[in-house]
Chain A
Amino acid sequence: QVQLQESGPGLVKPSQTLSLTCAVSGGSVSSGGYSWSWIRQPPGKGLEWIGYFYYSGSTYYNPSLKSRVTISLDTSENQFSLKLSSVSAADTAVYYCARVYAVVPPGWLTGFDIFDIWGQGTVVTVSS
């Protein structure tokens, strides 16, 4: 059973870089067909996709954050990471890591991305 666990500082100062790690257990980040994603949820609000490290080796980021975001894979540690630079109070949120699986629904010829496994989430507050 694959499990994901986020870790990192719970408090980051404005203008600094937020760094989080998602440890993967019960499976490998190198497994074919899976991508690895970060999603966040500001307090009392909805979900925002940050980006993912696609199984092809490419990265895709939300344009609203693209200039500040880096998602990388560490196969030796079996984990993936998020770096978000120049943070402000607007970046305060619960940050989730998630596995993206390209499921092929019945009758379909191509895969369809779903967030099938999530970490429990980690709260990050941006404040001086």
Chain B
Amino acid sequence: DIQMTQSPSSLSASVGDRVTITCRASQSIRSYLNWYQQKPGTAPNLLIYATSNLQSGVPSRFSGSGSGTDFSLTISSLQPEDFATYYCQQSYSTPLTFGGGTKVEIK
């Protein structure tokens, strides 16, 4: 199985801050990396697919980069509705696996 490791596991930030979350795969997954946002009590929602492609309807303040084993999700200017937990997920091979999540909290 491909292990996905996210860091940090949580962070505190203020509205307007630039936030970066990293995700590392235990082996190369090329660009087969997705990012999801989950708010409490709701299902995850796809933000970015194939490392850097914004899902329809997702604000442009979200961006993704990386390849191989190291990836990142950046929120250029944190908004109140962005406080949530973020998960990376690899689609390179089954079993499909998720990172442990990064909780973004209000400072």
Contacts and interface: CB of A to CB of B under 8 A. Distances in A.
Interface of A: 46-49, 60-64, 96, 98, 103, 105-106, 108, 112-116, 118-121
A114 B97 contact: no
Nearest to A112: B50
A121 B91 contact: no
A114 B43 contact: no
Nearest to A94: B43
Nearest to B41: A121
A46 B99 contact: yes
Counting chain B residues whose Cβ lies within 8 A of the other chain, the interface size class is 20 to 34
Interface of B: 1, 32, 34, 36, 42-46, 49-50, 53, 55, 87, 89, 91, 94-101
A103 B53 CA distance: 11
Interface of B is mostly: loop
Given A96-B43, A114-B46, A47 B95 contact: no
A33 to B, nearest CB: 15
B1 A114 contact: no
B99 A113 contact: no
* Best-buried of B36, B45, B95 by chain A (most CB within 10 Å): B95
B1 A49 contact: no
Nearest to A66: B95
Contact of B42 (A62, A64, A120): A120
A118 B36 CA distance: 11
A49 B50 contact: no
A114 B34 contact: yes
Contacts of A118: 43-45
Contacts of B46: 114-116
B43 A119 contact: yes
Contacts of B32: 112
Given A46-B87, A63-B1, A113-B91, A105 B44 contact: no
Contacts of B94: 60, 62
